[in-house]
Structure 1
């Protein structure tokens, strides 16, 4: 197993060339066999996972060629998963300890992703909505279409526009749990709202209620009575505690993000968290001082010993004074 270390420019180029080559050497049959071997390894080790990325997109209604395998896992499972694949004969690498490990076998690249853009994690809520689907005489775990849409909206950038269109294709397929999609949109509400409005402008059947609900959550001030903070983070099985350090930066950040996104006082706000060895830095905006105070309480409840830097500010964003009218 290779650990993440600073790379020289030449090493970075060599690493990129290796990734590129692996992306182009994998044929569909080899890719399928490697995928099944990887998920068999996960299931034998009781490691929850969901297939995301291009292969998942094909299963959800977006035919697209892809040469790698993307598996979404929980942060506390990342090292266990990489070790299990290594023992199975995969070449492994801790590419970025903040969000990504990699594994190779049969010239096929497997990305182990444990944090997506928008600070989205493979949390308990997402795990409950994973779909069990047939694949080459086997059954595999596929991310729900609702979570797929949210992740794609969050990760979209100018240089990778296919993510936006992947999400649009899934919206076009329909059969979505809109209540759940709106709930999950709390991780990247502005991007998801933009996506839904754009989809509706292209005659994709997006319920107006979903758009209105997201808009209200984002732009209408709410005064909420503080409630007891509950952290429904998935408990770790005793047999795996030694390999999942609860004081690791990744684990602490995952717990903070889930707590912020499940507490009624702080959910539905675009709050970013950076955790270091000595501090927790929180940035974003809320609508009331009570919500600002709640951010402090939630973070302190998870990490009381680290220095806390609260850069969350209170901002009022009124909605439009009147409805838009097109003559």
Structure 2
């Protein structure tokens, strides 16, 4: 078959050229002259076939570490270096440093003192350093408003990389960062996260707690992993599911309450009930039901702390005053912090108003920013 196929291509190429089918002929000429692609050899963690490039990468990596350590900056590696060390073997040609926002400028200066050319690429989340053709990203806010906070910093881990001991965010935090950053343009993030489930030792309780930042995305990732026979405990799936949607038995009771029934109304199942004692033993704290009394404004609800935050996300997306999908909501005790960007001051006020209506007895801190929309410069006619 291999000897026959090229001759067939050559025959059709001759026919098409003779018949004037230029485009098809050129396509077949290109196809017939293609050579087999050399298979990529398996990689041992992060490597390259170019020894000179590998040497430069390792040298710049070491200088970046010296810059951070010498300045006492709190940092950890994320990105390809971390994924290759904690998860699957993969190649990378840049270095991602994760720092606290207040340390971003210090990090840039520290790199500058080591001879890096630096730039403030995007003051909202990213600076860059360049040396010997190697890029160092200084990231101080990951997608989804994920920061190097104190809990993440305390949970850091270390591992050997090319003879150096490096510090990384915990595999659970890297998994969340990767899953949230995943998009159509960056499919590798998703599979990096899946690889962490396979290769890293996961603290499931910690993952569930940190998954409050993006519970639906993490739940979908874990379900996808289970569909590929990767060991994810069922109780973790149930905990995340109930944290988002509530107890499924309660949902069944709610549906039953809406359907015709021979039972008198008083005998129907209670829609919102506290979890049973057995459930209390396995349900993480943030997933547990917190029953609230009716509010003075007349709104009565029984919600989980994080479940209520999820409902507020939906309210902000559906309320015609706001229609905002990208507002980040952080809850700490009796305080709700709103972050994100909107296009008008009125929309910013509306976001806060909707939040106060839903959490009337909670302190609301509105850190939503109003974007300054500028007219694009006039373009020259073509």
Shorter-chain TM-score: which interval?
Answer: 0.5 to 0.7
Partners of 1:273 and 1:103 in 2: CA distance: 27
Alignment of 1:87-166 (within 5 A): 87-166=113-192
Q: Does 1:211 align with 2:226?
A: no
C-alpha deviation, 1:138, in angstroms:
3.2
Partners of 2:336 and 2:203 in 1: CA distance: 23
2:365 alignment partner, one of 299, 304, 311: 299
Higher RCO structure, 1 or 2 (CA under 8 Å, sep 6+): 1
Partners of 2:150 and 2:175 in 1: CA distance: 18
Partners of 1:219 and 1:264 in 2: CA distance: 22
1:263 alignment partner, one of 323, 333, 355: 333
Partners of 1:107 and 1:213 in 2: CA distance: 46
Partners of 2:330 and 2:186 in 1: CA distance: 29
Partners of 1:86 and 1:123 in 2: CA distance: 25
Alignment of 1:133-282 (within 5 A): 133-220=159-246, 222-223=289-290, 260-263=330-333, 272-274=339-341, 281=348
C-alpha deviation, 1:209, in angstroms:
1.1
Q: Is the 8 A contact 2:336 2:365 kept in 1?
A: no
Partners of 2:347 and 2:110 in 1: CA distance: 31
C-alpha deviation, 1:139, in angstroms:
2.1
Unaligned runs of 5+ in 1: 1-23, 227-255, 309-327
TM-score by length of 1: 0.66
Partners of 1:91 and 1:25 in 2: CA distance: 24
Partners of 2:243 and 2:214 in 1: CA distance: 12
C-alpha deviation, 1:71, in angstroms:
0.7
Q: Does 1:70 align with 2:96?
A: yes
Partners of 2:107 and 2:123 in 1: CA distance: 13
Q: In the alignment, which residue of structure 1 is the partner of 2:299?
A: none
Partners of 2:127 and 2:61 in 1: CA distance: 16
SS at match of 1:260: strand
Deviations 1:24-70 (A, max 9, x none): 99822211111111111111111011111111111112111110001
TM-score by length of 2: 0.57
Q: Is the 8 A contact 1:51 1:70 kept in 2?
A: yes
C-alpha deviation, 1:118, in angstroms:
1.0
Partners of 1:93 and 1:150 in 2: CA distance: 27
Q: Is the 8 A contact 1:85 1:92 kept in 2?
A: yes
C-alpha deviation, 1:298, in angstroms:
4.1
Q: In the alignment, which residue of structure 2 is the partner of 1:318?
A: none
Q: Is the 8 A contact 1:224 1:265 kept in 2?
A: no
Q: Is the 8 A contact 2:339 2:369 kept in 1?
A: no
Partners of 1:280 and 1:294 in 2: CA distance: 22
Higher Rg of the two aligned structures: 2
C-alpha deviation, 1:292, in angstroms:
3.0
SS at match of 1:111: strand
Deviations 1:228-282 (A, max 9, x none): xxxxxxxxxxxxxxxxxxxxxxxxxxxx97x924437759xxx652399x99949
Q: In the alignment, which residue of structure 2 is the partner of 1:59?
A: 85
Q: In the alignment, which residue of structure 2 is the partner of 1:47?
A: 73
C-alpha deviation, 1:132, in angstroms:
2.1
Unaligned runs of 5+ in 2: 1-49, 247-271, 273-288, 294-326, 371-382
Q: Is the 8 A contact 2:73 2:107 kept in 1?
A: yes
